[in-house]
């Protein structure tokens, strides 16, 4: 008798929910880029990520997102697009609220990034899972295998796609 597999797949060609289950393990993901450099961010969340902009000075990341609704100490999952000076370190981290539209994060890496680059975050128990970037003109199906049992998503999986034309996730 051959091996039995419980791995399923889900396809998406634009930003949206990729895996509809409230709990899954991502085993791998195939992504296809475009003529421009691309990025795909995966979040475990029941709502779409909130958009913002950021800048970084040393280890302090300052995020602006109108009416963010956060409180100091809240843990968010956040992913960053490249800005002038680099890209901040994505992850799940506590915030310090400055006002209703601005919060800061202390980053493990020190870098200077000009304010205005894009970011996305989830709150209320949502988590950043992973980010993959693609070079310009990488129009091939790139497969990223997740080792071991895969990455656990405790909620639905949302994919934010920038200059990515297709994504297929393999999950159990």
Identify whether residues 56 and 118 lie together within a single domain: yes
**In this predicted model, what pLDDT tens digit does every residue of 105-149 receive, in sequence order?**
999 999 999 999 999 999 999 999 999 999 999 998 899 999 999
What domain range is 36 assigned to? Answer: 1-46+126-172
Whether residues 41 and 62 fall in one domain: no
pTM of the model: 0.94
Query: Is there a single domain that holds both residue 117 and residue 59?
Result: yes
CATH assignment of the domain containing 59: 2.40.30.20
134 with 168, same domain?
A: yes
Write out pLDDT tens, residues 72-105.
Answer: 999 999 999 999 999 999 999 999 999 999 999 9
pLDDT at 6 (0 to 100): 86
pLDDT at residue 141, as a whole number: 87
User: Do residues 77 and 101 both lie within one domain?
Assistant: yes
Share of the chain above pLDDT 70, in %: 97
List the 127-134 sheet strands across, edge first.
16-19, 157-162, 38-44, 127-134
Predicted pLDDT of residue 2? 53
**Angle value at C-alpha 43, between 37 and 44, nearest 5 degrees:** 165
Tens digit of each residue's pLDDT (9 = 90 or more) over 12-51: 999 999 999 999 999 999 999 999 999 999 999 999 999 9
Q: What CATH number does the domain containing 12 carry?
A: 2.60.120
- Per the structure, how many domains does the chain have? 2
Same structural domain, 171 and 107: no
């Amino acid at each position: 008798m051959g091996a039995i597999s419980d791995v399923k797949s889900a396809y998406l060609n634009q930003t949206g929910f990729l895996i509809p289950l409230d709990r899954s393990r991502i085993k791998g993901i195939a992504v296809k880029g475009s003529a421009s450099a691309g990025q795909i961010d995966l979040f475990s969340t029941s709502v779409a990520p909130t958009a913002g902009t950021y800048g970084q000075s040393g280890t302090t990341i300052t995020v602006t997102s109108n009416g963010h609704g956060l409180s100091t100490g809240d843990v968010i999952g956040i992913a960053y697009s490249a800005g002038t000076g680099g890209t901040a370190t994505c992850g799940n981290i506590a915030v310090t609220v400055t006002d209703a539209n601005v919060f800061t994060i202390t980053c493990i890496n020190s870098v200077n990034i000009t304010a205005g680059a894009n970011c996305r975050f989830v709150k209320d128990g949502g988590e950043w899972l992973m980010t993959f970037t693609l070079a310009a003109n990488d129009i091939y199906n790139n497969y990223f295998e997740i080792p071991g049992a895969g990455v656990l998503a405790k909620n639905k999986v949302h994919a934010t796609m920038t200059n990515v034309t297709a994504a297929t996730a393999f999950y159990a």
